[in-house]
Amino acid sequence: MSAQDWLPRISLLISLAVPLGIFIGRHWMKARLEKGVQHRFDLKIEEMRADLRESEERLKSALRDRESEIAILRNVVLAASSGRQALLDKRRFEAVECIWRAVNDMAQLKGLSSMMAIMNVKEVAKEVGDPRMQQLLSMIGAGTPNISDLPNIARNERPFLPELTWAYFTAYSTILYGNLAVYKTLAAGVKDFEKYLKRDGSKEILKEALPHQSKWIDDSSPEAYHYLLDELENNLLLELRKILNGVETDAAEITKARKILNAVNQAVEEKEKAVAEMKMNV
């Protein structure tokens, strides 16, 4: 075959080969590029996964450390709370002991209080200037301790006691110290003692402490409140035993206690006003 016959064929082959080569080259390049991109992408993904795993491990480690810290803190708080509760319970038991000791100390005033309960105080007041009445009063008060000799061991115990316990104790002491104040006033020769020793405050305290006795309290003289001592003492003892047994004060008892203590505050204001008036008239 002559060269002239090959040239068209060669031209045809070239014309076919060039597009085919371009096509093949294009797809090969595309596949190569895609493979290169995929490889880099896979490397990035694996790198990100490694970073995520590392971050996850760091987070887990941090969480474990935090949980350990929280557990330690919880144990410290619980230990401190337990220790504080133990100290508070111990202090409450001491307060119970102090209150009951104070009740026993005030028992020294019961004899005088019982005498005041049966005495016609108003009639006695009319005769306080008579030496014979003063001699009688001296005999009645013989053996009664001075108020300064009675240690006030209960005054620091209020923060450690339920309000109702303190309220009953206050009501109880109000009767004894009230009758003692009447006796001291009469013994001092003060005729118009009622002007200075107003007992309405004591009446309201006792009516709040023993509401079922309200009518009797209204109908009785303040000196006769002595006959409520046993009931108040029993109520106080019951509240002290609740403390020792760990019984919590309920809402009704808290409300009752606040009413008693409000009456106590009013009585204190009444007493301070009366003392001021007495000083002005001296």
Say how far apart CA 154 and CA 209 lie, in whole Å: 19
Q: What's the whole-number mean pLDDT along residues 59-71? A: 71
Phi and psi angles of residue 221, each rounded to the nearest 5 degrees, phi first: -75, 155
**Buried/exposed code over 159-192 (b: 16+ C-beta within 10 A; e: otherwise):** ebbbbbbbbbbbbbbbbbbbbbbbbbbbbeebee
For residue 93, give Cα distances in angstroms to 15, 84, 88: 113, 14, 9
pLDDT digits (tens, 9 = 90+) for 94-118: 999 999 999 998 888 999 999 999 9
What is the spatial distance between Cα 210 and Cα 220, in angstroms, rounded to a whole number? 14
Cβ-Cβ contacts under 8 Å for 40 (sequence gap 6 or more): none
Q: What's the rounded mean pLDDT across residues 86-96? A: 87
Own/partner pairs, 264-273, CB within 8 angstroms, 24+ separation: 264/167, 264/170, 264/171, 264/174, 264/201, 264/205, 266/201, 266/204, 267/174, 267/200, 267/201, 267/202, 267/204, 267/205, 268/201, 270/198, 270/200, 270/201, 271/198, 271/201
* Mean pLDDT rounded to a whole number for the chain: 79
**Residue 176, amino acid:** L
Residue 90's nearest CA partner among 172, 160, 170 is 160
Q: Confidence band (pLDDT; 50, 70, 90) for 176?
A: very high
Q: List pLDDT tens digits, range 249-277.
A: 788 888 888 888 888 888 777 766 665 66
Number of Cβ within 10 Å of residue 279's Cβ equals: 9
As a whole number of angstroms, the distance between CA 79 and CA 186 comes to 58
User: What angle do helix axes 163-187 and 3-106 make, rounded to 10 degrees?
Assistant: 30
How far apart, in whole angstroms, are the C-alpha atoms of residue 184 and residue 42? Answer: 104
Residue 41 — very low, low, confident or very high, per pLDDT cuts 50/70/90? Answer: low
- Provide mean pLDDT across the span 228-250: 90
| Contact present, 154 and 99 (Cβ < 8 Å) | yes
